[in-house]
Amino acid sequence: MIFQDLFEEYYQIVIKADQGFKDVKLEFPDEVRCKNGCSDCCHAVFGLFLIEAAFIKEQFSGITPSEREKAVLRCNRSEEDLSRLEEKLKNFSDDPQMAAYTMSRERVRCPLLNEKEECVLYDYRPVTCRVYGVPSLIRGKVHVCAKSGFKKGMSYPAYSMDEVQRQLYMLSRDLLERLSPQTDKDNASLLISMPRALKTPLEEIISENFG
């Protein structure tokens, strides 16, 4: 595979994210309340950088045909919900703060979440999912899971998603350079929804989203 080395670099980011989560959980066991059956993070709205979408697509091809078929059906429902959200956000086109607030409050079920409330690609889930239960720094602001025990006004270590997103952007630029050399590499900042990443061939994603 022409970008296996990029996948290996990506997985080093994953390893560090897992370790960051474990460190905070070890220090604040009562505040980190992630457990089997809790799927709050599986309903958060977020996008994937190209490198992460490509990695997840490869892993998705390795699960059973039956699981893939069910996930694709769930993709259709998720896309409908995302379309409704997109229409709602048009009301705040001149108010980015309200648009961000609306998106943060929206709940869209991830198509990887099965009927047993389990992620069918848990071992390969995105970085965002891996650190959702601990304080995370995003665009200079700390965010925490509503179901966690972290209290306002208290000081806690925060995992820097800003730095991770910079790294994912750079890897996505490298991937875009290999797959579509003529494409503007700054487009590597564009994000892909999980349903689209699972359902759509990578070449088509690049042609329609990054061309």
Give residue-wise pLDDT tens across range 74-111: 999 999 988 888 888 888 778 777 877 777 777 899 99
Range of the domain at 123: 4-204
Residue 211 lies in a domain: no
**Cα–Cα dist 41/107, whole Å:** 9
Residue 210 lies in a domain: no
**Cα–Cα dist 56/163, whole Å:** 21
Residue 66 lies in a domain: yes
Residue 145 lies in a domain: yes
- Residue count of the chain, please give it: 211
Statement: the pTM of the whole predicted model exceeds 0.95: no
Residue 9 lies in a domain: yes
- Our count of domains for the chain comes to 1
Residue 31 lies in a domain: yes
Pick from 141, 137, 139, 150: which is nearest to 34 by CA?
150
* Average pLDDT score over the chain: 91
Pairwise pLDDT comparison (105 vs 141), residue with the higher score: 141
- Residue 2, pLDDT > 70, answer no
Pick from 123, 139, 93, 107: which is nearest to 43 by CA?
107
**Residue 10 burial by Cβ neighbours in a 10 Å radius (0-12, 13-18, 19+):** buried
- Cα–Cα–Cα angle for 45, 41, 79, rounded to 5 degrees: 35
Residue 209 lies in a domain: no
- pLDDT tens, 13-69? 999 999 999 999 999 999 999 988 889 899 989 999 999 999 999 999 999 999 999
Residue 181 lies in a domain: yes
Query: Tokens 């996948």 identify what position?
Result: 7
**Cα–Cα dist 40/198, whole Å:** 21
